[in-house]
Chains A and B, each alone.
Chain A
Amino acid sequence: MKKLSARRRHPLAALVVLLLALACTGGLYAVFAPASKAQADETAQSLTIEEGKKLYAVGCASCHGTGGQGTTDGPSLVGVGAAAVDFQVATGRMPAATSQAAQLPKKKAVYTQAEIDQMAAYIASLGAGPAVPTEEQYGPEGADIAKGGELFRNNCAQCHNFTGKGGALTHGKYAPDLEGVDPKHIYQAMLTGPQNMPSFPDGSLSEQNKKDIIAYVKTVNGDETVSPGGLSLGGLGPVSEGLFAWIFGLGGMIAVAAWVAARTAKARKS
């Protein structure tokens, strides 16, 4: 067996080392960072602003400022409302490892829902903003799925694709896939406009409209969703469909032609 050191001059060695180093750093961060924050207050039971303030001071203040006024590393949180806090922290986008990333991806949440509620209560106390929506607001009861589809295509599909599979934006930013996203978080994203997503306040997209849109997204992305055309190929539209047709359609025809021509019909095989 070749020694590992013998491969250190391989052209891909630097890349492998870099990937390993990144994986280690990320892994260590994931192990330690959440643990230290989660220990902040395990015993808190009541949803008090005081408890939220303590959590905020430990986990958020370094970037967003001690009073939520914002710093060069993070925006002001005055007036963003409880809905924004619940969305950002419950989807794991906050706390962020860096303020330099093009976009913060969805991760496993670091805080428990109780802690998130406390922080949300604290941030809401700094200035009026959208509140966390209730089940009644985002649930499927009373939703018009067809209307939701129309609204989705008019307001959301340009970035999130026709059935919410997401898509690319500029400079490494992207619209995420909406499959499996909690209806509450979809509602909050529309309401608060996280990161580069524009917000759709109730004045321009009513509560009922939001409910309809969520019902549509859930209908076209559920486990029981019927794909009328067979293989959905990721639901990404013409790119994956064209790729499939070229590779498997044309490739299959070439393979069959080669197979037919390769077999001789003669009695005496040469």
Chain B
Amino acid sequence: MSTQETPEEKLPAGQDTAHGAVRVADEKNPFADPGLPPHEPRVQDVDERAAKRSERTVALLFTLSMLATVGFIASFVTIPVDQSVYIFPIGHINALNFALGMTLGIALFAIGAGAVHWARTLMSDQETADERHPIAAPPEVREKVMEDFRQGAKESVIGRRKLIRNTMFGALALVPLSGVVLLRDLGPLPETKLRHTAWKKGKLLVNMNTNEPMRPSDIIVGSLTFAQPEGLDPHEHGFMNEIAKAALMIVRIQPENIKDKRELEWSHEGIVAYSKICTHVGCPISLYEQQTHHALCPCHQSTFDLSDGARVIFGPAGHALPQLRIGVNDEGYLEALGDFEEPVGPSFWERG
């Protein structure tokens, strides 16, 4: 619009009008627009030898990229996976990874560098100014569109035939429901799976390191042991789901140091079994400080006091760690006296 309003004769002498419009100050626009500076040629624009040099540089960079790609494929084929190499100052590193990373890096960088050099030295660098057009359509076009719409609505008789209109709205509203129903295929509902684990009355506590059931004498004060329920097979389908809920940390605390009454009741001579799964977002939590009896979660630093019902003493966790009630069976092995009383792991909607 401004170009149309600015008379040609007001432009300063020598200004290239195609190369940016200059607007002088007037009452409506108190600030003069200086426009773009005059175009300056590059060396490559005036010196054909320099332009040739630039062309060769760009071609060299692209050729380097090609060679690096060939090198990448060659390294992939020839270098053994476990070969190591000493590179100063990194040290001993895997030769294949180093070669692949290096060649791919060079291949990509050379393409970028070549493109930048090409654009800066050889592609046209004439500055051009494009005026923005008004976004709104002219009034007569708008009028025509509205007129067409009204006519279409009238001809479709949608305003008069109410039955068609209402059933059409009904059909359009129902169609998306098919998509919503398909979402059910994302998986069966969890039902009560979040509330139960593999622990049952009489299940033995099995040491995760030795895969053997444990006797109370194996658990000394200050020690930390991880346990899982007997009969969990790592090769079985669903093992990961089960172990993610049932993993336990077993510690022994002098009974007189246990502050929580229920904790002492559910322990066996001071041996307490707590869920290893953080109640915040479910990280395995086992940074156990044996003198303070604090267990720290490595993800968000939630801290639980294992001598006080695994109460949360710091961090974002919302619940104490669930405790498993344990006892000793007739053969003297530690066993569960039931499942956890509350869901293990992070809070979920229905848990509250």
- Which A residues form the contact surface with B (CB < 8 A)? 151, 154-155, 158-159, 167, 169-170, 173, 175, 193, 195-201, 203-206, 209, 224-232, 260, 265-268
Give A36 Cβ to nearest chain B Cβ, in Å: 29
Closest to B54 in A: A265
With A170-B303, A201-B223, A205-B209 already in contact, the answer to whether A260 and B116 are too (CB < 8 A) is yes
Q: Which of B43, B98, B284 contacts A158 (CB 8 A)?
A: B284
Contacts A159-B287, A170-B296, A198-B251 known; A227 to B93 CB distance under 8 Å?
yes
**Residues in B whose Cβ lies below 8 Å from that of A232:** 91
CB atoms of A201 and B91 under 8 A apart: no
User: In the complex, what's the smallest C-beta–C-beta distance from A209 to chain B, in angstroms?
Assistant: 6
Of the A-B pairs whose beta carbons lie under 8 Å apart in the complex, a sample of 14, sorted by A's number, is: A158-B285, A169-B289, A197-B290, A198-B251, A199-B223, A199-B224, A205-B209, A209-B209, A224-B92, A227-B92, A227-B94, A229-B93, A265-B120, A267-B46
Whether A228 lies near B314 (C-beta < 8 A) is: no
User: Is B75 interfacial (CB-CB < 8 Å)?
Assistant: no
Residue of A nearest to B288 (CB): A198
**B296 and A196 contact, CB distance less than 8 A:** no
Inter-subunit contact B93/A170 (CB<8 Å) = no
Q: Check B94–A226 contact: CB distance below 8 A.
A: yes
Q: Give the number of residues in B that approach A within 8 Å (Cβ atoms).
A: 52
Contact B92 A154 (CB under 8 A): no
A204 B287 Cβ-Cβ under 8 A: no
Give residues of chain B (255-280) contacting chain A, Cβ–Cβ below 8 Å: none
| Complex: A151 Cα to B46 Cα, angstroms | 71
Q: Count A-B contacts at CB 8 Å.
A: 115
Decide: B97 and A229 in contact? CB cutoff 8 A: yes
Contact present for B90 and A193 (CB under 8 Å): no
Interface status of B219 (Cβ within 8 A of chain A): yes
Query: At the interface, is chain B mostly helix, strand, loop or mixed?
Result: mixed
CB-based contact B92/A225 at 8 Å: yes
Give me the 7 closest cross-chain CB pairs, A-B, nearest first.
A203-B218, A198-B224, A196-B289, A204-B225, A226-B84, A228-B94, A198-B290
Q: How many angstroms from the CA of A228 to the CA of B97 in the assembled complex?
A: 7
Q: Are A204 and B120 within 8 A (Cβ)? A: no
- B210: CB under 8 A from chain A? yes
Known: A205-B209, A230-B101, A267-B43. 11 other contacts (CB 8 A): A170-B296, A170-B303, A199-B222, A204-B218, A204-B225, A206-B209, A225-B92, A226-B84, A228-B93, A260-B116, A267-B41
**Which residues from A are CB-within-8-Å of B110?**
none
Asked whether B324 is an interface residue with its Cβ less than 8 Å from the other chain, the reply is no
Complexed CA–CA distance, A154 and B209 (Å): 8
Complex CA distance for A260 and B296, rounded to whole angstroms = 49
A200 and B98 contact, CB distance less than 8 A: no
Min distance, Cβ B291 to any Cβ of chain A, angstroms: 5
Which residues on A sit within 8 Å (CB–CB) of B40? 266-268
Question: What residues of chain A lie closer than 8 Å to B222, measured between beta carbons?
Answer: 193, 198-199
Q: In the complex the two chains form, is B93's CB within 8 Å of A230's CB? A: yes
Q: A260-B116, A267-B46 are in contact. Are A170 and B314 (CB under 8 A)?
A: yes
Say if the beta carbon of B298 comes within 8 Å of chain A.
Answer: yes
- The 8 A CB mask of B100-138 against A (1 = contact, 0 = none) is 010000000000000010001100010000000000000
User: B214 near A203 (CB under 8 angstroms)?
Assistant: yes
B43 cross-chain contacts in A, Cβ below 8 A:
265, 267
Whole-angstrom CA separation of A197 from B94 in the bound complex: 34
- A214, chain B: closest CB distance, angstroms: 15
The docked-state distance in angstroms from the alpha carbon of A197 to that of B215 is 22
- Min CB distance, B7 to chain A, in Å? 32
Instruction: Please indicate the chain A residues that have their CB under 8 angstroms from the CB of B84 in the complex.
Output: 226
**Residue on B nearest A150 in the bound complex, by CB:** B209
Q: Which residues of B contact A225 (CB under 8 A)?
A: 92
B53 at the interface (CB under 8 A from A): no
Question: B48: shortest Cβ distance to chain A, in Å?
Answer: 13
> Are A173 and B289 closer than 8 Å at their CB atoms?
yes
User: Does residue B207 face the partner (Cβ distance < 8 Å to A)?
Assistant: yes
Q: Which residue of B lies closest to A151 (CB)?
A: B209
Contact of A265 with B125 in the complex, beta carbons under 8 Å: yes
**Known A227-B90, A230-B97; contact A158-B220, beta-carbon cutoff 8 A:** no
Q: Chain A residues with Cβ under 8 A from B301's Cβ?
A: 170
Give every chain A residue within 8 A of B116 (Cβ-Cβ): 260
User: Cα distance A244–B57 when bound, in Å?
Assistant: 32
B155, chain A: closest CB distance, angstroms: 59
Within the assembled complex, what's the spacing in Å between the Cα atoms of A266 and B289?
Answer: 67
